[in-house]
Structure 1
Amino acid sequence: MSKKKNNSSIKLVLTQLVLDIFEQSGNAPLNYKQVSAKLNVRDPESRETILEILKEEAQKGTLKEVSHGKFQLRELKTFIEGVVDMTNDGSAYIVTDDPDETDIYVAPRKLRNALNGDRVKVYVYAKSKGQRQEGEVIEILQRFKMEFTGIVKVSERFAFFIPDDRKMMHDIFIPLSDLNGAKNGIKAVAEITDWPAGAKNPIGRIKNVLGVQGENDTEMNAILAEYGFPLSFPKEVEQESEEIPDVITKEEIARRRDFREVLTFTIDPFDAKDFDDAISFHALPNGNYEVGVHIADVSHYIQPDSALDKEALERATSVYLVDRVIPMLPERLSNGLCSLRPKEDKLCFAAVFEMDEDAHVINEWFGKTVIHSDRRFAYEEVQQIIEDKAGEFAKEILKLNALAYKLRERKFKNGAISFETTEVKFKLDERGKPVGVYIKERKDAHKLIEDFMLLANRKVAEYVSKMGKGKHKYTFVYRTHDSPKADSLASFAQFAARFGYRINMKSDKEIAKSLNFLMEDVEGKKEQNVLTQLAIRSMAKAIYTTKSTSHYGLAFDHYTHFTSPIRRYPDVMVHRLLFHYLNNGQSANEAYYEKLCQHCSQMEKKAADAERASVKYKQAEFLRDQIGSVYTGIISGVTEWGMYVEIIENKCEGMIRLREITDDFYTLDEKNYAIIGQRKKKVYRLGDEVKIKVKNVDLTKKQIDFSLVQE
């Protein structure tokens, strides 16, 4: 490195230190001698440089000279913290914690090795009139991720690793001694171990070899690794799960309410292996019905702070990829001990309700139970019983279905929103290759189970929320959902109007009513997916929190997740807290549980992103054999560089690039969700039907390119 370049690097670091001093000193006016003293700088040359820096920063507008030789920050809020959102050209925007703050633009050379998702401290430049707010990263506070999936490139003396992540702009240098057996061209997971100051590329090591690029197992494992989900359980976790006794003692049964003689069954997908909820049904002499929602008692088997518990918390959720489930708990628990398998005694935590003919809850009871499931139903079998009004336990199933209908009706009357999205499923061959696509249907059997699970979740949340008063409310884990922002909803309403749907925005109830009418009317129509996805996007995201606020989408004042502890860690926390309070325990530490809630919300989002990535990969793989095929699609998204189209027949989505539509020069009209030709004024709007040809498929990028077939 040249001496000149070295000096400029030192000056840059010194500038940041100087500005830090003003911030740390509460922005008291300081001269260059005082700044030097605070920095413990004594040599005349460096003190001279500090004086230079003060004058230069005053010229830039960062500092102001308040009296001769004394300087102050022009604005104390010169430093902010935020998260790096990388763009395709290597620059970034820093998204601050304050939703009202403008994002700060940072040029590529001023990122100082910050990567996408990192939490950073940024020095914000004084803003010139009409210019965007700019800054530079001065400190990386927390790395978002240090592991990446990608391809290994090996030469004679060194190796490089090319990450799959398009927002990771740097290849990783891998010393040959850290290849961990990886060969040239193989797909692997690399971990950054060092990034020396001034080095263009980080240094790393190969952590896991995934396999040959393009093979199903390799690509599915790559998706999991990319989103930070481990590919296997640590040995100590597996060992701990193997050591749990599978015998239920008489003493344990004596501590519980015994439902083994009461009719109980499970209803799940035909290929499910973990059954975490069962329904018990009993007609009472007074004409009412006792319905029990029995949930696998995971918290009985997993003790706080055990290796099992720490691993479950770290994962926070099971992940459902197209062809596999990555469970939150080892198989012995998820498919064995905790799974409510038929004809076996099982330990549960239950919400038991006495209900009248109109599905009003007359009495409720929460506590630990022991059950013996009489029958394991698949959804399809129960649906058949509902439709034929005949079959095993038909009388009980039909009564439960009638009660579920009333619960559902009341829920929608109170303002719940029904988002019926179409779920795409793939038919896979023995090698995991997609050979067909079908739409998963949700019928009464699915809704029956869903409505009783919603009831249990709501009633548990209501029960705990009534404990204590005012500041003495009991700490609990809630599932909350904010009402949508008015501008997002107005934007959606404007778009829906094009299809003849009016969204009444007078009140939350009227909004819900309009949305439900839209969702019902659009079902089965070609624009169903586009409108449903856009409506969902205009909504806030549901999160876990200790703050007891309402759930907008379900129109419940209090709501939690109690019913799936095999696959969701928040439900484990809910079980522990509820049991603690049922036994007269004191309120738990709110700050501790809020931190766990934030982690679970983040992991839930990562799992959803991983699931989406696996669907995108399978869509690309399915269409790879259809190059040149022509389909009819719906415009599902518009951007400044292209429009996304979803094929009506198989729901696969790809992009038509604007530069490849040659009959005109097209630009984005963001406000109207449209692409407009500048000369002929031809308009392509979101929701329009278009003919497309499958042009190209890039499996590595999970990218499908279409070309427009013009009439």
Structure 2
Amino acid sequence: MVRKKTKNKEYTDRKPKEKGKRLRKEQIIEAMLKVFQSNPKTVYNYKQLCNEIGIENQVQKLQVVDYLYDLAAEDIITQIDPGRYRYNNLGVVAEGLFARRSNGKNSFLPDDGGTPVFVAERNSRHAMDGDKVRVQLLAKRKGAEPEAQVIEVLESKERSFVGKLQVGKEYAFLTTEDKTLANDIYIPKNKLKGGKNGDKAIVHIIEWPDNAKNPIGEVKDILGVSGENDTEMHAILAEFGLPYSYPETIEKEADRIPDRIPEDEIAKREDFRGVTTFTIDPKDAKDFDDALSVRKLENGNWEVGVHIADVTYYVKPDSIIDKEAFSRATSVYLVDRTIPMLPERLCNLICSLRPNEEKLCFSTIFEMNEEAEVINSRIHRTIIKSDRRFTYEEAQDIIETGKGDYKEEVLRLDALAKLLRARRFKEGAIDFDRYEVKFEIDEKGKPIQVYFKESKDSNKLVEEFMLLANKTVATSIGKVPKGKKAKTFVYRIHEAPDPVKMENFATFIHRFGYKLKVEGKQGEVSKGINKLLDSVKGKPEEDLIETLAVRAMQKARYSTENVGHYGLAFTYYSHFTSPIRRYPDMMVHRLLERYMEGERSVPQKKYEEMCEHCSSMEQVAANAERASIKYKQVEYMSDKLGKVYDGVISGVTEWGLYVELNENKCEGLVPIRDLDDDYYEFDEKNYCLIGRRHKKEYRLGNPITIQVAQANLERKQLDFTLAD
């Protein structure tokens, strides 16, 4: 039934008092609602209602008449004819998606993009998260949120859940921390697939009978013993619907691809095998998909080649390898492993630009002067032979000391990259230069140390030339003469920030004494953001303000509709430089080849749908990566219970304070129930909790000292208490 709030009182299905006893107003309204809701098609007058409720007192009978007027005025009931009423649940029928939440706050998301509508569990028909449903919108009542009731599940989204098996003699359950399901899943003994008590498993829901509290499921896969590193990493991937193994049929298909390059293919390509070329990558990388070449030209300028692995030479459209790559859309990088987009033979062997091996590439080649101005550029299929594989640390050592292999080439590229970078910021690019949290782990996958990876000159060297290549490729297709329409292409776009978010951000940082201009030309706003980021460097509020600045921005995504890239201040931008690990780059390579051969434009609608899929999978992969970091942070802190740390309040919610520790950037929650010196209220506008009596404030960005209270690996959650 529908819950009703009137004058801050909540009414449910409680029974009224015995007959003849005088009832309070709240009890009468509660009982009236129950009668109407239990018999929504029945018409009642006040006498019939009084009889149903058990009211015999004449005064209270007259009160029922008044309350009928009130309920009709609030549109909860409808007057059919004078003095006769019926429950007004004959609301609008609509279709959309069902969003299930374990806290009971389910909602209906209309197809027309309207406001989400609350759906009580009793009105859900056991619809699962993501199901397409038809609902009846219940009558909106004064002072209450609108509600909906699921009347039909139109399309049931196949959902699997990851959790821990509890196996008894007669039954088994899967307990899960999934945020979309509050109920354990009942598993018949013949559907366990060999699962044992304490195993982590993936379970698919078979059915959820109307009168059953728990859904019924079957085990799809056993991930292993709960708590073991491989089990938990696979569980994170499964939780986000990501694959944790590569299909054997596709691995076998990749094994059939020859690694020898035919002579007739070499003859078609520009030959860079005699030009100094090298890769610069992380020390643990195996998939080298970009290389740089550099040589001095006779006119005194520099030729810089950005050479990208020619993946699409080997992976043909609509092949089973291509279909699997598109489904994945991206490689996924967890704390201790990479789940590749392509089979290992391709990503780590055939396509990888390994030193002293001839490799096919798609390249952008630039002629640049000493000021790093591009005199001209070209895009070509090439063949290269890398002379050296550098790690970022090795290249950084050359930049800092001026000594090492190919020092002249490395130093020249570094000098050009620094000029490119300075010009980019001058033109309005935003300098989000953030650190990454990394773990040193032992042979069993247990984290033994946390460290922070910061971007140094060697990283920035590679970054600048990749940005230049991506920009050049996008410009070559997107920039056309006036009056001509550009061919369909895959752009990496970043829209301008939401003005409301920027205004809120500016208001927040004002408390720290900073100002930010949020209106005007892009260059002016961007310069203001850069100036702000420079001014907070090294200060206690640096991490907080950088984080909030990023949140104020839109998310970059893939699209065939080019709107430019706000953060980079580029009019045209695409992703071309990482086809081993990103499917959009493969799309760009194929479109480039097609258009270079003079063929007509591809259908925009089809490619926009592909872009949307890739953007969606990129977000899923990022969420899985964050979950693996969170798991390792909780695991790292699990033997530090009782220890005291200094931190900063990184989040404020109605349920408590999130605190990020200064020493290792691990984040945990101080539950609001543990703030027992006062009754604290959440001030959403000012990002703080305020004590009702003593007015003590816990504000976002404030320093705080905590004690580690609990480390829950199942929930990937740290609980803190305030230190004495």
Write the mapping of 1:81-92 to structure 2, written as runs, cut at 5 A: 81-92=95-106
Instruction: Name the counterpart of 1:376.
Output: 389
1:622 aligns with one of 626, 631, 636:
636
Q: TM-score, normalised by structure 1?
A: 0.87
Question: Are 1:595 and 2:617 counterparts?
Answer: no
Write the mapping of 1:540-551 to structure 2, written as runs, cut at 5 A: 540-551=554-565
Question: Are 1:580 and 2:594 counterparts?
Answer: yes
2:276 aligns with one of 243, 263, 269:
263
Percent of aligned pairs sharing the same letter: 53
Residue range with higher mean Cα deviation, 174-183 or 599-608: 174-183
Using the alignment, how far apart are the partners of 1:249 and 1:404 within structure 2? Answer: 35
Distance of aligned partners of 1:468 and 1:476 in 2 relative to their CA distance in 1, 3 Å threshold: farther
Using the alignment, how far apart are the partners of 1:137 and 1:116 within structure 2? Answer: 13
Question: Are 1:181 and 2:189 counterparts?
Answer: no
Please tell me the residue identity of whatever aligns with 1:660. Answer: D
Please tell me the residue identity of whatever aligns with 1:538. Answer: A
Aligned-residue CA RMSD (Å): 2.5
Q: CA deviation at 1:663?
A: 1.8
Distance of aligned partners of 1:120 and 1:549 in 2 relative to their CA distance in 1, 3 Å threshold: farther
Using the alignment, how far apart are the partners of 2:398 and 2:95 within structure 1? Answer: 58
Using the alignment, how far apart are the partners of 2:158 and 2:470 within structure 1? Answer: 34
Write the mapping of 1:241-390 to structure 2, written as runs, cut at 5 A: 241-390=254-403
Instruction: Name the counterpart of 2:457.
Output: 444
Q: CA deviation at 1:278?
A: 0.4
Question: Are 1:163 and 2:173 counterparts?
Answer: no
- Could you give the per-residue CA deviations for residues 374-424 of structure 1, whole angstroms, max 9, x where no partner exists? 110011111111111222222221221111112111211121111122211
Q: CA deviation at 1:521?
A: 2.7
Using the alignment, how far apart are the partners of 1:625 and 1:312 within structure 2? Answer: 40
Residue range with higher mean Cα deviation, 82-91 or 670-679: 82-91
Using the alignment, how far apart are the partners of 1:66 and 1:582 within structure 2? Answer: 72
Instruction: Name the counterpart of 1:107.
Output: 120
2:553 aligns with one of 536, 539, 544:
539
Unaligned runs of 5+ in 2: 1-38, 45-71, 82-87
Distance of aligned partners of 1:351 and 1:208 in 2 relative to their CA distance in 1, 3 Å threshold: same
Q: CA deviation at 1:358?
A: 1.9
Using the alignment, how far apart are the partners of 2:380 and 2:76 within structure 1? Answer: 62
Instruction: Name the counterpart of 1:692.
Output: 706
Instruction: Name the counterpart of 2:478.
Output: 465
Using the alignment, how far apart are the partners of 2:187 and 2:471 within structure 1? Answer: 52
Using the alignment, how far apart are the partners of 1:468 and 1:642 within structure 2? Answer: 57
Question: Are 1:494 and 2:507 counterparts?
Answer: yes
Using the alignment, how far apart are the partners of 1:511 and 1:354 within structure 2? Answer: 32
Question: Are 1:675 and 2:689 counterparts?
Answer: yes
SS of the equivalent of 2:638 reads helix
SS of the equivalent of 2:291 reads strand
Residue range with higher mean Cα deviation, 87-96 or 321-330: 87-96
1:421 aligns with one of 426, 431, 434:
434
Residue range with higher mean Cα deviation, 151-160 or 432-441: 151-160
SS of the equivalent of 1:233 reads coil
2:659 aligns with one of 634, 645, 657:
645
Q: CA deviation at 1:145?
A: 5.0
Instruction: Name the counterpart of 1:517.
Output: 531
Using the alignment, how far apart are the partners of 2:112 and 2:134 within structure 1? Answer: 14
Please tell me the residue identity of whatever aligns with 2:697. Answer: V
2:241 aligns with one of 215, 228, 231:
228
Using the alignment, how far apart are the partners of 1:502 and 1:208 within structure 2? Answer: 54
SS of the equivalent of 2:376 reads strand
Distance of aligned partners of 1:156 and 1:555 in 2 relative to their CA distance in 1, 3 Å threshold: same
Q: CA deviation at 1:692?
A: 0.5
Instruction: Name the counterpart of 2:252.
Output: 239
Instruction: Name the counterpart of 1:122.
Output: 135
Using the alignment, how far apart are the partners of 2:403 and 2:153 within structure 1? Answer: 65
Unaligned runs of 5+ in 1: 1-50, 68-73
Distance of aligned partners of 1:298 and 1:138 in 2 relative to their CA distance in 1, 3 Å threshold: farther
Residue range with higher mean Cα deviation, 189-198 or 635-644: 189-198
Q: CA deviation at 1:469?
A: 6.8
- Could you give the per-residue CA deviations for residues 47-70 of structure 1, whole angstroms, max 9, x where no partner exists? xxxx995989xx996999999xxx
SS of the equivalent of 1:626 reads coil
Using the alignment, how far apart are the partners of 1:564 and 1:352 within structure 2? Answer: 17
Using the alignment, how far apart are the partners of 2:393 and 2:167 within structure 1? Answer: 52
Using the alignment, how far apart are the partners of 1:350 and 1:55 within structure 2? Answer: 77
Q: CA deviation at 1:495?
A: 1.5
Instruction: Name the counterpart of 2:668.
Output: 654
Distance of aligned partners of 1:332 and 1:629 in 2 relative to their CA distance in 1, 3 Å threshold: same
Instruction: Name the counterpart of 2:626.
Output: 612
SS of the equivalent of 2:443 reads coil
Say which one has the larger Rg.
Answer: 2
Instruction: Name the counterpart of 1:394.
Output: 407
Instruction: Name the counterpart of 1:24.
Output: none
CA contact (8 A) 1:148 1:164 kept: no
Using the alignment, how far apart are the partners of 1:497 and 1:107 within structure 2? Answer: 41
Please tell me the residue identity of whatever aligns with 1:94. Answer: F
CA contact (8 A) 1:421 1:533 kept: no
2:487 aligns with one of 474, 482, 485:
474
CA contact (8 A) 2:91 2:138 kept: no
Residue range with higher mean Cα deviation, 466-475 or 283-292: 466-475
Q: CA deviation at 1:193?
A: 2.8
Please tell me the residue identity of whatever aligns with 1:257. Answer: E
Q: CA deviation at 1:216?
A: 0.9
Residue range with higher mean Cα deviation, 259-268 or 133-142: 133-142
Distance of aligned partners of 1:166 and 1:645 in 2 relative to their CA distance in 1, 3 Å threshold: same
Q: CA deviation at 1:128?
A: 3.2
Residue range with higher mean Cα deviation, 75-84 or 587-596: 75-84
SS of the equivalent of 2:639 reads helix
Please tell me the residue identity of whatever aligns with 1:249. Answer: P
SS of the equivalent of 2:625 reads helix
Instruction: Name the counterpart of 2:423.
Output: 410
Using the alignment, how far apart are the partners of 2:94 and 2:540 within structure 1? Answer: 46
Distance of aligned partners of 1:144 and 1:703 in 2 relative to their CA distance in 1, 3 Å threshold: farther
Distance of aligned partners of 1:650 and 1:469 in 2 relative to their CA distance in 1, 3 Å threshold: same
Using the alignment, how far apart are the partners of 1:351 and 1:610 within structure 2? Answer: 33
Q: CA deviation at 1:151?
A: 1.2
CA contact (8 A) 2:495 2:556 kept: yes
Q: CA deviation at 1:559?
A: 1.0
CA contact (8 A) 2:207 2:216 kept: yes
Q: CA deviation at 1:196?
A: 4.2
1:527 aligns with one of 541, 554, 559:
541
Distance of aligned partners of 1:300 and 1:265 in 2 relative to their CA distance in 1, 3 Å threshold: same
Instruction: Name the counterpart of 1:34.
Output: none
Q: CA deviation at 1:198?
A: 4.5
Please tell me the residue identity of whatever aligns with 1:664. Answer: D
Please tell me the residue identity of whatever aligns with 1:281. Answer: V
CA contact (8 A) 1:151 1:164 kept: no
Q: CA deviation at 1:130?
A: 4.1
Using the alignment, how far apart are the partners of 2:109 and 2:356 within structure 1? Answer: 54
Paired residues, what number? 652
Residue range with higher mean Cα deviation, 168-177 or 558-567: 168-177
